[in-house]
Chain A
Amino acid sequence: SQQGEEDPQALSIQEGENATMNCSYKTSINNLQWYRQNSGRGLVHLILIRSNEREKHSGRLRVTLDTSKKSSSLLITASRAADTASYFCATEDSSYKLIFGSGTRLLVRP
């Protein structure tokens, strides 16, 4: 399968610090997306990067994609306590199906 696998599994940082989460996948993709999940809730789409893009920004989010290494990273700058959540990468395969990884649980301490 081409599930994305995130690391670290869990990350604890102080408010104001940057948080970096990584995702690796196995096969070719159309695009890679990051989603956020608050505890006990559904996933919310954050940002999408296409396979021909290398970097994308959205507010405090920065996503990179390295298709040669089949990896992506999500950087959240100047983190806030409200950023506490689980973050999942999802890869869109050739049939446009989204496959999610295991997620990174981010805790931002006030």
Chain B
Amino acid sequence: EPEVTQTPSHQVTQMGQEVILRCVPISNHLYFYWYRQILGQKVEFLVSFYNNEISEKSEIFDDQFSVERPDGSNFTLKIRSTKLEDSAMYFCASSEAGTGRKSSGANVLTFGAGSRLTVL
């Protein structure tokens, strides 16, 4: 069964350092997402991406965050200068249907296993 893969599974970084989290979405999916989950808390929407541009972003997704699809397979989340409160599990997801456009199907997401970010 197709799956979303994320790397690294765990990254430890010093406050102020840049971090790049990588994701390989399912190959025929067109919509990509990043969510984050602070330990034991709710899963929070960060950003959605379609056709090489951001479709929608949350208040959390400030200027420290950026996303990119550098080639045909990878989808990355960059945090420019990490803060302690960025420590969380970051989940990538992809879907056939998606945000910002009328679609015939519901938006069912396939998630990766997550990348745990620890900022010291």
Co-assembled chains A and B: yes
A42 touches B112 (CB 8 A): yes
Among B89, B100, B110, B113, point to the contact of A96 (Cβ < 8 A): B100
Q: Of residues B45, B56, B103, which shows the largest number of chain A Cβ atoms within 10 Å of its Cβ?
A: B45
One of B14-22, B61-69, B75-83, B91-99 at the interface: B91-99
Say whether, besides A100-B42, A100-B43, A45 and B109 are in contact (CB < 8 Å): yes
**In the complex with contacts A42-B91, A42-B114, A43-B91, A98-B109 CB distance below 8 A:** yes
Report the Cα distance A102→B94, complex, angstroms. 21
- For A42, list chain B residues within 8 Å (CB): 4, 91, 93, 111-114
Report chain B residues within 8 Å CB of A71. none
Give the chain B neighbours of A79 by CB distance below 8 A: none
Q: A30-B106, A42-B112 are in contact. Are A96 and B101 (CB under 8 A)?
A: yes
- B interface residues with partner A (beta carbon < 8 Å): 4, 33, 35, 41-45, 48, 56, 89, 91, 93, 97-101, 103, 106-114, 116
- B112: chain A residues at CB < 8 Å are 42
The size of the chain A interface, using a CB distance under 8 A, is 25
Q: State the main secondary structure of chain A at its contact with B.
A: strand
Judge if A97 is at the interface, Cβ distance under 8 Å.
yes
Do A96 and B108 have beta carbons less than 8 Å apart? no
B106 in contact with A92 (CB, 8 Å): yes
The 5 lowest CB-CB distance pairs between A and B, nearest first, are A42-B111, A100-B43, A102-B42, A96-B99, A96-B107
The answer, among A3, A35, A48, for a CB contact under 8 Å with B106, is A48
Highest count of chain B CB atoms <10 Å: which of A92, A96, A101: A96
Q: Could you say which residues of chain B place their CB within 8 Å of the CB of A99?
A: 45
A10 to chain B, nearest CB (A): 11
- The answer to whether B91 touches A96 (Cβ under 8 A) is no
- In the complex, the answer to whether A33 meets B56 with C-beta atoms within 8 Å is no
B107 contacts which of A3, A92, A103 (Cβ < 8 Å)? Answer: A92
Given contacts A97-B45, A97-B56, A100-B42, contact A43 B111 (CB under 8 A): yes
In angstroms, how far is the closest chain A Cβ from the Cβ of B26?
13
19 chain-A/chain-B pairs, Cβ below 8 angstroms: A33-B106, A41-B114, A42-B4, A42-B91, A42-B93, A43-B43, A43-B111, A45-B110, A48-B106, A48-B108, A50-B106, A95-B100, A96-B99, A96-B101, A96-B103, A97-B45, A98-B109, A100-B43, A100-B44
